[in-house]
């Protein structure tokens, strides 16, 4: 018996959509599940409980650098993807005043690099506050990557983290070589 045969009669098959960097997806279909994997990127899961419409975005950077202005206002930036997600949800019947947000990601995966994850997390919080969107939950920052699954028609989210192995600050010394098994090149 296949997995399709075990579904209750009349229940449609689940459809998983992977949300990649620079994408936003919205849906009201009960069988849709959105998923993504995050490091320093942030994903926003928005849900309208009355319209039963939800959506997810996945942004790499918060905003274009000031010296670029809006010349680089594209799918890499949270500012663009937040607006895109809200607009897609409004087209499906959501009302901005009823939106609830859950934020994920924004990890600082390598302590030796700039805090891109923290900057992304701060942007997402600030955007929601400025737009008057209720932030219902957050799982942001830290040093762990996350895998997020979101059912847009119900607002249910599952998130798991992965442990990050410590990255050594220096290259360890090579172990001493034995005389056995060495190869001499000619």
When pLDDT is averaged across residues 25-53 and rounded to a whole number, the result is 98
Confidence of residue 166 (pLDDT cuts 50, 70, 90): very low
Q: Is pLDDT above 50 for 14? A: yes
Q: Which of 24, 41, 43, 140 is catalytic?
A: 41
Token pair 């990890």 is found at: 107
Nearest to 108 by CA among 117, 100, 95, 98: 117
Angle between helices 116-131 and 78-91 in degrees, nearest 10: 40
- DSSP-derived letter for residue 77 is B
Query: In this predicted model, which residue has the larger pLDDT, 121 or 67?
Result: 121
Supply the pLDDT for residue 53. 98
What is the reported pTM?
A: 0.79
Query: In the chain, what are the domain boundaries?
Result: 15-162
Query: In this predicted model, which residue has the larger pLDDT, 12 or 34?
Result: 34
Q: Which fold has domain 15-162?
A: 60s Ribosomal Protein L30; Chain: A; (3.30.1330)
**91: enclosing H helix or E strand:** helix 78-91
Structure tokens at 66: 């000031």
pLDDT digits (tens, 9 = 90+) for 62-119: 887 776 555 555 677 999 999 999 999 999 999 999 999 999 999 998 877 789 999 9
Whether 41 is a known active-site residue: answer yes
**43: enclosing H helix or E strand:** strand 42-48
């Amino acid at each position: 018996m296949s997995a399709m045969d075990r579904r209750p009669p009349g229940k449609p098959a689940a459809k998983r959509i992977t949300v990649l960097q620079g994408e936003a997806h919205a849906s009201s279909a009960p069988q849709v599940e959105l998923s993504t994997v995050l490091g320093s990127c942030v994903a926003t899961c928005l849900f309208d409980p009355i319209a039963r419409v939800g959506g997810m975005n996945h942004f790499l950077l918060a905003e274009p650098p000031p010296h670029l202005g809006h010349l680089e206002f594209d799918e890499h930036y949270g500012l663009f993807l937040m607006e895109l997600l809200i607009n897609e949800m409004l087209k499906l019947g959501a009302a901005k005043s009823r939106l609830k947000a859950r934020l994920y990601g924004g990890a600082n995966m390598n302590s030796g690099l700039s805090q891109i994850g923290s900057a992304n997390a701060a942007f997402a919080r600030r955007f929601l506050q400025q737009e008057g969107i209720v932030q219902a939950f957050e799982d942001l920052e830290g040093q762990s990557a996350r895998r997020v699954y979101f059912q847009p028609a119900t607002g249910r989210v599952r998130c798991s983290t992965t442990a990050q192995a410590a990255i050594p600050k220096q290259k360890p010394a090579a172990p001493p070589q034995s005389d056995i098994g060495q190869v001499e090149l000619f």
